[in-house]
Amino acid sequence: MLTPDTEAHLSDRLFSDLDFSSGAVAAVSGGSDSTALLLLLKDHLDRTASGARLLAVTIDHGLRPDSAVEARQVAKFCGERGIAHRILAWRGDKPATGLPAAAREARYRLLAQAADAEHIKLILTGHTADDQAETVLMRQARDDDGRGLAGMAPATLHDWRTWIVRPLLGTRRAALRDMLRHRDIGWIEDPTNVDARFERPRVRAKLAQGEGERRIAEALARSRQAARERQDIGRRAAMLIDAFADRPGPGLIRLDRDLAGHEDSEAAVYALRILLAAVGGLSFLADEARCAALFSRLRLGSLCATLSRTVVDARRTGIFLHRENRNLPAAAPPDNQLWDNRRRITLKDGPGDLVIAPLGSSAARQASLSKDVPQSLSRAALAAEPALWRGAEHLDFTGDDARSPAISMVPVVAPFARFLPSFDLAPAIAMAALVGAPPPPAPPFLGHDGGRGWAKA
């Protein structure tokens, strides 16, 4: 059982290396894990950083009749302890399938909105070692390619702006509940946690039987090993991206042919998977087996192929990557959006008749192009880039050209644009530099090294 002394020791271990200079948002559902997180965090800040702002946020997903009442119970609990609290509701239609994933996406979006409104750069959630083990086992059952077996990252950057930290990933749920019982504090039991219609409750129920503790220990060990491997190959891939890739024009990436013959083929294939996803605007990496087969073909000489919405054109002068000219977004108003998952569109002040649409082949043929690469490649890449239009009039704003005062288009690193796990920070930094995206904000841990070798155990 946790005593006051051991609780103080635990809270110091959990939070002492976090940067609370902008404050913290704590996600609190009223369950045991998030309630324990809030209390340990409040104790830590009271002892070590009494001036730091703490905001507890409860997301009412509106999926159960009692959810609004439970959210108000959390608000009362926080009010009794002098903790600022907000309730945010997930409104609108709920999907018939994929509900847990949609709820998770909505939850993080609303938490980030709450943090942004208060100019807070740090969100904390109550995921525990038990949650981590369940995640690893679920991914293992889906025959994950290995990256996913690292489980949940200790920190994840949301929308390239707000860090979500999971300080309890090394702490068992039973210890947290012992602490709450010692303080005579109850918690809300969410009935969906035992609803066998969903995968996680089914895995949780199995772990409560027989060999559960052994399977949890094995899953956590597997997670730690996979995390180390993912960070290592990410650092190696980042070095290859830095050394062998450049951007000779909007939408066009050039790889030195020596990449195909590099001795670290494992990292080279991993780098290619990231590059293809970024150029193609995909939120997931290119398929490992297909990418490895493509890499083997690149070693043999010239080719032209398409993978992950990316055209791969290997010539004597280099390996060129650009977005294929299919399945591009239709013309639409520039309404603060991710365009093709490759540009972040921000509307400033401008007339209401503007739309964003691909530049297209006709306008690309009229563009002034670099002489360093074949004109056909430059035009093909440029044709798939976003442009600002008024009717049939192209307003001379494409790719990285930021001359329009009405709008900005900032490149993003597609596979990491929404969620960047800290495991992948090194290749994300390398890709941001390559495509001209802003670097990600520094991790919220004191003493980090800028991301190239950073990891939080």
AA identity, residue 307:
L
- CATH H superfamily, domain 4-226: HUPs (3.40.50.620)
Cβ within 8 Å of residue 360, ≥6 positions away: 383, 387
User: In sequence order, which ranges of 49-190 are alpha helices (DSSP H)?
Assistant: 67-80, 99-117, 129-141, 173-182
What is the pLDDT, as a whole number, of residue 307?
Answer: 97
Place of tokens 């609780």: 7
Radius of gyration of the chain (CA): 24
Across all residues in the chain, what is the average pLDDT? Answer: 90
What is the tally of helices (H) and strands (E) in the chain?
A: 13, 18
What is the pLDDT, as a whole number, of residue 181?
Answer: 96
DSSP state for residue 420 in the 8-state scheme: E
User: How are the residues of the chain apportioned to helix, strand and coil, as percentages rounded to the nearest 5?
Assistant: 45, 20, 35
What is the pLDDT, as a whole number, of residue 206?
Answer: 87
Question: Model confidence over 82-102: pLDDT tens digits?
Answer: 999 999 999 988 888 888 889
AA identity, residue 166:
R
Q: H/E element holding 41?
A: helix 32-48
Cβ within 8 Å of residue 256, ≥6 positions away: 243, 244, 245, 318, 319
Reference 348, options 335, 357, 366, 360; nearest CA is: 335
What is the pLDDT, as a whole number, of residue 211?
Answer: 87
What is the pLDDT, as a whole number, of residue 404?
Answer: 58
249 DSSP β-pair partners: 252
* Annotated domain spans of the chain: 4-226, 247-324+413-435, 337-411
CB 29 within 8 A of CB 104: no
Low-confidence ranges of the chain (pLDDT < 50): 399-402, 450-452, 457
Three-state secondary-structure class, residue 103? helix
Rounded CA-CA distance 44/21 in Å is 14
Rounded CA-CA distance 399/383 in Å is 10
Reference 451, options 433, 425, 432, 431; nearest CA is: 425
pTM: 0.92
What is the pLDDT, as a whole number, of residue 401?
Answer: 44
Cβ within 8 Å of residue 28, ≥6 positions away: 34, 35, 37, 38, 56, 57, 58, 74, 78, 85, 126
Tokens, residue 321: 């990557």
Edge to edge, the sheet with strand 343-347 lists 337-339, 343-347, 407-411
Question: Model confidence over 45-75: pLDDT tens digits?
Answer: 999 998 999 999 999 998 888 899 999 999 9
Reference 275, options 320, 226, 209; nearest CA is: 320
